[in-house]
Amino acid sequence: SNVLGTPKAVGGKLGGQVAATGDERPGLGNIRITKLAGDSAQIRFSGTGLLTQDALRLDFTRLKSKAFDGAVNITAPFGPAPWQISVHARYMSRAALPKMLTHEASRLQAKNWALTARIDRFDWEAATIRDARLSLASADHSIGVFDAASLDTGGVRIAHVHAAFTLPGAGAIDLRQCAGQVGEDHVELAARLTPHDGGMRWQGFAFVTGDFGYLLDHAGISKRFLHGDMHMLFAGRGLFSKKQPWWRGLDGRLRLRVDNGRILEGGTLNKLLAAMNLADLPKLLLGLRGDLAGPGMMYSRLQMEATMHNQEVQVHKIAMRSPAMDLAGNGRLTLDNDQVDVILTARPFQNLDAI
């Protein structure tokens, strides 16, 4: 019912021209298809083929529709073996693929197939994917494999993408594993993606490692943090859409740990408190206090547990350890306007008991 994005009734005809010659060698009975051609408003194609006693092979050197532009090779065995389909597309959209993969054993008339593809540009809902490699099959419990140089949703660009997935139907994608690079940060995702309002709604788990300051700055959330070795786990749902940043619409639970970063706030007082820390006095005497030379306030560890709903972050626990002071508290953050409403308990000096 779907030929590369062109609707067609099941069992319906697809018009075209065919020219063929027979193989005159005894016992072979092969038919060589010297011309395959079609030109209509919906689809255009040209190529050659070969019919033997075992299989039909079709080589479409040019195949073009609204959803596809490229070359396709099809080998269709007459026995139980699956059809082999090889694709090199200059352009392809989600509409060129079936809406669902059926794995029903009762549908004996359905022929199994295996697909390998190289796609220069692939438009999937709101995402644009470049230099993609795809391997997919219709067999029961089959898992597709996908690699791409980049994936751009408009709100976020992911490079070096690798994914293992299944297609359960209705346009949904079950990501068993997905990994990629967002600037200086590494992202791993296990989730179900479903079409939603021109984008893709996802629900599952996301694990992010890398530079904490870069993540906040690149997302347009805050410029107050610099560097920091981040490990972040989010369980919930979100939306990939060209209409809004990726962090809008997040709804779920967040756990965060950041080591050795800086907050670009404070100034002379924080540096004075850090210098008076007796625990780091030997480093001060040896000139090893790099935290006193850089901008803002350095912290050795920042940890947070929170729940997120749209742009609101309800902070249940937050704690920070730095040479200047230790902080702990809870409160609320609003990402949309960088507003903070948090109650903190501070312990300066880190050597108060000794004093």
> What pLDDT, in 10s, does the model give residues 253-265?
999 999 999 887 6
Contact 231, 209 (CB under 8 A): yes
Give the number of C-alpha atoms closer than 13 A to the C-alpha of residue 136, restricted to the C-beta side. Answer: 18
Q: State residue 177's pLDDT score.
A: 92
Q: State residue 344's pLDDT score.
A: 77
Residue type, 226: L
pLDDT beyond 50 at 287: no
pLDDT digits (tens, 9 = 90+) for 307-330: 998 778 899 999 988 776 788 889
Closest CA to 196 of 125, 95, 92, 100: 125
Contact 321, 299 (CB under 8 A): yes
Cα torsion through 158, 159, 163, 168, rounded to 10:
40
pLDDT digits (tens, 9 = 90+) for 20-68: 787 665 555 688 888 888 887 778 889 999 998 889 999 999 999 889 9
Q: State residue 294's pLDDT score.
A: 58
DSSP reduced 3-state for 297: strand
Q: State residue 11's pLDDT score.
A: 57
Q: State residue 12's pLDDT score.
A: 56
Cα-atom radius of gyration of the chain, to the nearest Å?
29
In 10 A of CB 259, how many CB atoms?
16
- Mean pLDDT over each residue of the chain, to the nearest integer: 80
Q: State residue 353's pLDDT score.
A: 45
Contact 267, 197 (CB under 8 A): no
Q: State residue 2's pLDDT score.
A: 61
pLDDT higher at 187 or 107: 187
pLDDT digits (tens, 9 = 90+) for 84-132: 999 999 999 888 876 654 444 334 346 788 999 999 999 977 789 999 9
Residue type, 274: A
Lookup: tokens for 244: 């809004």
Contact 348, 325 (CB under 8 A): yes
pLDDT higher at 199 or 353: 199
Of these ranges, 230-234, 267-271, 285-289, the one predicted with the greatest mean pLDDT is: 230-234
Burial category of 184 from C-beta neighbours within 10 Å (exposed 0-12, middle 13-18, buried 19 and up): middle
Beta bridge partners of 185: 182
pLDDT digits (tens, 9 = 90+) for 211-246: 999 988 887 777 888 889 999 999 999 887 767 777
Question: Considering the entire predicted model, what is its pTM?
Answer: 0.73
Give dist(CA 299, CA 326) in Å, integer. 9
DSSP reduced 3-state for 244: coil
Q: State residue 102's pLDDT score.
A: 47
Lookup: tokens for 217: 């700055």
Q: Compute the Cα dihedral for 333, 334, 335, 339 and give only its sign.
A: negative
Give dist(CA 179, CA 187) in Å, integer. 6
Closest CA to 267 of 339, 347, 324, 342: 324
Tell me whether strands 113-124 and 83-93 are parallel, antiparallel or unpaired. parallel
Lookup: tokens for 268: 């002379």
Determine which helix (DSSP H) or strand (DSSP E) holds 83, and give its type and residue range.
strand 83-93
Q: State residue 237's pLDDT score.
A: 93
Distances in Å between the Cα of 3 and the Cα atoms of 7, 65, 127, 348 are: 6, 9, 22, 69
How many Å from the N-terminal Cα to the C-terminal Cα in the chain?
81
Q: State residue 355's pLDDT score.
A: 39
Q: State residue 300's pLDDT score.
A: 86
